[in-house]
Amino acid sequence: MVVRTSSSPSTPAPAWEADPATALARLRETAPLTQCITNAVVTNFTANALLALGAAPAMCDIPGEAGMFAGIAGGVLVNLGTPTAEQRDAAREAVSVGTPWVLDPVAVGALPIRTALAHELLKARPAIIRGNASEILALAGAGAGGRGVDATDAADDALDAARSLAVRTGGTVAVSGEVDLIVDAERTVRVPGGSALLTKVTGGGCALGAAMAAFAAVAEPFEAAIAASAVWAVASERAASGSAGPGSFAVAFLDELSVIRPEDLEGRVHVQTASGAEAGA
């Protein structure tokens, strides 16, 4: 759906098409190689989620290889959940290559080593930053972080912080919450829905960052973040509808990722104009 936005009532901006369906179709056609430098807790779930989605995961996080591999990957994820010395060096290599990459600043603000690394990596200008509201606020210098990996702020509380990071990096910032908030220097999109059971499964959010990296191989960063969030919302809702709890949900979620269709994403995206109006896409 084409949505026109404008910075003032008298000056219309060019049309912009929010089209997660096309992004999903492209991903399924190309199976992009997606490099994940991610935390030890979520490696298996992340790889399985990418496979179910239609991407090709590779957990290449060894210094001396990470940069080489990033050069052939379509997208790269750098997740700071368990930033060992080896992973920190691997991340520095991978982000220097020029492949679109996603920064997931897990628990930034609360812990010093990963916080310093996140600020260092920002200089390499991630295509997408994905985190919860507390992580985004902390990364922007507007908060102290959440309770470990858990947010203590709502997504909309981080809107200004997200915008400032987008302007600083020239990229996209995705704030996960009950309604995902996705911004760049000028645009704002909200993706409502999704199941709270995602917060009860280790890797639900981290795998979303990997999905954004996969989509960044086939779409521009803003569109990639939107598409991944829309897929996560639809698949998690469907998985929750037939699940008894987190265990069965985790399995059902992977199943739903594997069968979701581009047309299932219709109507999941709400584009906000400068005047505050919204339109569905």
List the single range of 8-12, 127-131, 163-167 with lowest mean pLDDT.
8-12
Residue 71: strand, helix, or coil: coil
Q: Provide the pLDDT confidence category of residue 278 given band limits of 50, 70 and 90.
A: low
Listing DSSP states for 72-124 in one string gives: T-SEEEEE-SS--HHHHHHHHHHHTS-S-EEEE-TTBTTBHHHHHHHHHHHTT
So what's the pLDDT on residue 270? Answer: 83
Q: Enter the pTM of the model.
A: 0.90
Greater model confidence, 36 or 153: 36
Q: What is the mean pLDDT of the segment spanning 215-229? A: 97
Using DSSP, how many helices (H) and how many strands (E) does the chain show? 10, 12
Task: Please check the confidence at residue 274 and state whether its pLDDT lies above 50.
Answer: no
Task: Please indicate, yes or no, if residue 7 is contained in any of the structural domains.
Answer: no
**What would the pLDDT profile of 152-175 be if each residue is shown by its tens digit?**
567 788 999 999 999 999 999 999
Domain with residue 257: its CATH number is: 3.40.1190.20
Task: Please check the confidence at residue 177 and state whether its pLDDT lies above 60.
Answer: yes
Residue 272: strand, helix, or coil: strand
Task: Please indicate, yes or no, if residue 2 is contained in any of the structural domains.
Answer: no
So what's the pLDDT on residue 105? Answer: 96
So what's the pLDDT on residue 37? Answer: 98
CA dist 77 and 131 (Å) reads: 13
Contact between residue 107 and residue 149 where contact means Cβ atoms under 8 Å apart: yes
So what's the pLDDT on residue 143? Answer: 58
Cβ count near 206 (within 10 Å) = 24
Task: Please indicate, yes or no, if residue 193 is contained in any of the structural domains.
Answer: yes
Task: Please indicate, yes or no, if residue 235 is contained in any of the structural domains.
Answer: yes
Task: Please check the confidence at residue 280 and state whether its pLDDT lies above 80.
Answer: no
Q: Provide the pLDDT confidence category of residue 268 given band limits of 50, 70 and 90.
A: confident
* Structural domain count, the chain: 1
So what's the pLDDT on residue 150? Answer: 52
Task: Please check the confidence at residue 115 and state whether its pLDDT lies above 50.
Answer: yes
Residue-number span of the structural domain to which 225 is assigned? 18-280
Task: Please indicate, yes or no, if residue 8 is contained in any of the structural domains.
Answer: no
